[in-house]
Amino acid sequence: MAEVKLDEVPRKTRELFEKAAAAIERDNVDYGIEMLLTILDIEPRLLQARKLLRAAQLRKFRANGGNAAVRHALSTLGGVGGLLSAQLSLRKDPRRALRTLERLMTRDPLNRVFIGQLARAAEAAELPEVTLQAYEIALEASPRDVTLLNEMARLYRETDRPGQARECYEKVIAIRPNDQSAIKGLKDAQAQETMDRGRWTEAQSYRDVMKDADEARLLEQQAKAVKSAGDLTSLIEEQEKKVAAEPDNVNYKRMLADYYVRAERFDDAEALLEDASRASGGGDPQVDRALSQIRLRRFDHRIEAHRAAGESDRAAAVETEREAFRFQDAEQRVARYPNDLQFKFEYGVLLFEREQYTEAIQQFQLAQRNQQRRIRSLYYLGLCFANKGQLDIAIEQLEKAASELTLMDETKKDILYELGIAHEKAGHRDRAAACFKDIYAADIGYRDVAEKVERTYRA
């Protein structure tokens, strides 16, 4: 059963999703969870709602603290009734079982018993993405669980994703080098991956194979970010044929405009996309973005030319002009597309760089509703409030961002570092040290954390 996207569901469902996201952001997590459960009752294929639900459930679970092992045991005992109910309805009505198990996950989203049953129900309901999502959560807590890795590999292969299956089998073999089942699975996944790359299963004739080879050659030229005149001329000619054959295909025009820019044919690129914008009624944000990139690249070309001629003053003047355009363009895009949260995030970053912190806060408070930009929006909110001297609010935002990340990646390091700085400024020496030590334990070379941590041991 195919996943549906947020923009594919009815307007009332989208509005309910926005309300749920806003409620969770206001720390009304229980209310947000209930709304998300209602959404999934209406449309169980909306994976974006399920992802937000899982994040909210994890947030609630972690906020309650306590010994995790004890809490898992207690939640299993408390959830016996729900588990029995789900098992009884699993065969006849797997979606009903799934609804029951989602409510149990609110009790404890890291409970392996609940996760296992949820995965079974999701698979029975033909929702493999939900099953994989449940397994991925469990794998974060138990990264060396061979049974889990094998199950994920099986599902990845069944959903035609041999690359992910291969990665799972490789992890199993790293843990159990002599696991013959995993070795065979790895070979099968690698073979499927090779076949997919070569498209052998789709080729019906010699002509098909040759056609694929021609396409592969063009794709290879594209991937190399080619600079030679011959390659660019070939790419432009091929793309112009596509545009001529399908003049309403905006994606073809955007690709051709990109080639024109590489060939420094800025006027042609801009004219092409302006024509595409007029044809779409001027309401395509991706065309707008592409036009902006062309204009910025034109500025870059002028700057490079002035520098090459030794005209540093003129280069500096064009750089100033470029930055003014970039800011004004972002401001105008937000006005044209008031519901596009990505544009609000980008505008917020520019406001932050100009030290217009109050105005930036307004943009990031809205942009955080975009799940792809939520963590970074919270991060920038923390920085904005810190720069305004409102350290208590800054700490609150940064702690919120840190709590939603489980892995110590670069983003989490950035957040913890700024959280530590905010605690330092607020006089919370122990809390600041704890933040720096968390980074130090994962990456001793990050910024100046080694110096900061070692200083606490000398004090």
Rounded CA separation 87/101 (Å): 10
The domain 226-338 having CATH identifier 1.25.40: the answer here is yes
Residue from 214, 221, 218, 288 nearest 257 by CA: 288
Residues in contact with 61: Cβ distance below 8 Å, sequence separation at least 6, in sequence order:
71, 108, 109, 110
The answer to whether the beta carbons of residues 387 and 424 sit under 8 Å apart is no
Per DSSP, what are the bridge partners of residue 4? 46
Estimate to the nearest angstrom the gap between the alpha carbon of 196 and the chain centroid: 25
Rounded CA separation 169/184 (Å): 9
The answer to whether the beta carbons of residues 36 and 75 sit under 8 Å apart is no
Rounded CA separation 431/420 (Å): 7
Would you call 171 exposed, middle or buried from its count of C-beta atoms within 10 A (0-12, 13-18, 19+)?
Answer: buried
Sole residue written with tokens 């898992």? 72
Identify the pLDDT of residue 383: 96
In 3-state terms, what secondary structure has residue 46? strand
Sole residue written with tokens 């044809």? 279
Identify the pLDDT of residue 387: 96
Rounded CA separation 232/260 (Å): 9
Residue from 100, 46, 96 nearest 36 by CA: 46
Identify the pLDDT of residue 364: 96
Sole residue written with tokens 């498209």? 199
The answer to whether the beta carbons of residues 152 and 139 sit under 8 Å apart is yes
Rounded CA separation 371/341 (Å): 10
Rounded CA separation 161/183 (Å): 17
Dihedral-angle region of residue 171 (phi above 0 means left; psi in -120 to 50 means alpha; beta otherwise) = alpha
Domains in the chain: boundaries = 6-198, 226-338, 356-459
Domain 356-459 sits in CATH at 1.25.40.10
Residues in contact with 245: Cβ distance below 8 Å, sequence separation at least 6, in sequence order:
none
Rounded CA separation 111/78 (Å): 12
356-459 shares the fold of 6-198:
yes
Identify the pLDDT of residue 203: 42
Q: Return the structure tokens found at 398.
A: 């940064």
Rounded CA separation 353/58 (Å): 33
Rounded CA separation 99/121 (Å): 9
User: How many angstroms separate the Cα of 25 from the Cα of each of 33, 148, 278, 371?
Assistant: 12, 32, 38, 11
Q: Cα(first)–Cα(last) distance of the chain, in Å?
A: 60
Identify the pLDDT of residue 398: 96
In 3-state terms, what secondary structure has residue 80? helix
Rounded CA separation 308/249 (Å): 38
Residue from 74, 79, 20 nearest 46 by CA: 20
The answer to whether the beta carbons of residues 421 and 432 sit under 8 Å apart is yes
Mean pLDDT split into 10-residue runs, the chain, 459 residues? 76 87 85 90 86 85 77 83 85 86 86 83 83 79 81 85 87 82 84 60 41 45 47 79 82 80 82 78 74 85 89 91 92 90 92 95 94 89 96 96 83 92 94 92 86 82
Identify the pLDDT of residue 459: 61
Identify the pLDDT of residue 365: 95
Domain 6-198 sits in CATH at 1.25.40.10
